Amino acid sequence: MRTALRERAIAWITRRQPAGVRQVTLDRRCIYILPTRYGYTFAGVLVVMLLGAINYSNSLAFLLTFLLAALGSNAMWHTHRNLLGLRITRLPAEPVFAGETARLAYSVANPGRVPRRGLTLEAPGHPGRDLAVPAHGDTRVTLTIPARRRGILRPGRLRLHTRYPLGLFRAWSWLHLEGDVLVYPRPLPVEDAAGGGAPDKDEARTSRQPGGEFTGLRGYTPGDSPRRVDWKALARTGNLYVKEFHEPRGGRLWLDWDDLLAGDVETRLSMLCHQVLRAHGADLEFGLRLPGIEVAPARGEVHRRRCLEHLARFHSPGREGA
């Protein structure tokens, strides 16, 4: 019953504010406001003050009570205004490995001429971050969420809330920002994986020296791997040279799902992840084969990302939270 209600509430909120956009501007339909418990306490204080004023027929006590009551109702508008018009933009997030902390960056822009203060941005279930946004300015804020499992981390509805300026009301808004973070598998050295037969075979594959025969030196260009720099030549000549190898056809390294004997899907992905990192670190040209997926051998940062993304997305439609 409760979950059903909750689902319906979320559906309602979601209808009011479309999900999966990169930027939202908070208009007054998507800002909710309720008294905090301090607001209720304050109301109680006012009732006591009013009784005292009536009892002692004290005009100034009446005036103070009514001033504070008016101030309290005024605070509602100011708290509401503290969120109104804010534009929250999702900034690109770097993928992380499972077990690391995802860093979700947002930019909160204030188009108004009143500074916004005492704002908190939080993902459900995680500690929030306080922020303030100057007038006509913006502020960056980064939420950190532990990425526990491989796949796609969806932080879900973020909540931006505030009780500034008087703490008597809390205004909040749910932000449905597209915010998927790729979570690569946790790299798992094959030696550590369960099962004994694999290491030799795997070692044989990945410990191959940078492929091919040495064919000569060429001048260093930015982007070349430091591993290929001929340090002896540097010592001799004072110039940076890079060793070039001839890579024989068919000598490419294939990181293959089917070559791994051990474990369940996640373990295999973790091992493949480790291998991708090692191959990339050794600046090898390597390809990746997963069931139904084949990434042609290549090298470089883009290739590494592509491979890791395949590992992250493998059989993973995406998950809420982490």
* Least distance (Å) between residue 81 CB and another protein: 6
Q: Which is nearer to another protein, 107 or 225 (CB)?
A: 107
Binding mask 65-84 for another protein (x = CB under 8 A): xxxxxxx-xxx-xx--x--x
Q: Which stretch binds another protein (CB under 8 A): 115-123, 245-253, 270-278, 291-299?
A: 115-123
CB distance 79 to 170 below 8 Å: yes
- Residues in contact with another protein, total (CB under 8 A)? 57
In the bound state with another protein, the residue whose beta carbon lies nearer, of 141 and 147, is 141
Residue 259 burial (C-beta neighbours within 10 Å; 0-12, 13-18, 19+) = middle
Q: Which of 57, 207, 209, 221 binds another protein (CB under 8 A)?
A: 57
Least distance between another protein and beta carbon 245 (Å):
47
- Name the minimum Å distance from CB 126 to another protein: 11
Site for another protein in 188-227 (CB under 8 A): none
Shorter beta-carbon distance to another protein: residue 57 or 221: 57
Can you list the alpha helix ranges (DSSP code H) found in the chain? 2-16, 37-55, 59-83, 198-206, 231-237, 265-281, 301-313
Instruction: Pick between residue 120 and residue 275 the one whose CB is nearest to another protein.
Output: 120
Q: Name residues whose C-beta falls within 8 Å of residue 293's C-beta, 6 or more positions apart in sequence.
A: 310, 314
Nearest residue to 108 via CA among 154, 78, 142: 142
Amino acid letter, 191: E
**Segment 19-22 long-range contacts (CB within 8 Å, at least 24 positions apart):** 19/176, 19/178, 20/176, 20/177, 20/178, 21/176, 21/177, 21/178, 22/89, 22/90, 22/177, 22/178
Binding site for another protein (CB under 8 A): 25, 27-28, 38, 41-42, 45, 49, 51-71, 73-75, 77-78, 81, 84-85, 111-113, 115, 117-120, 127-128, 130-132, 136-137, 163-167
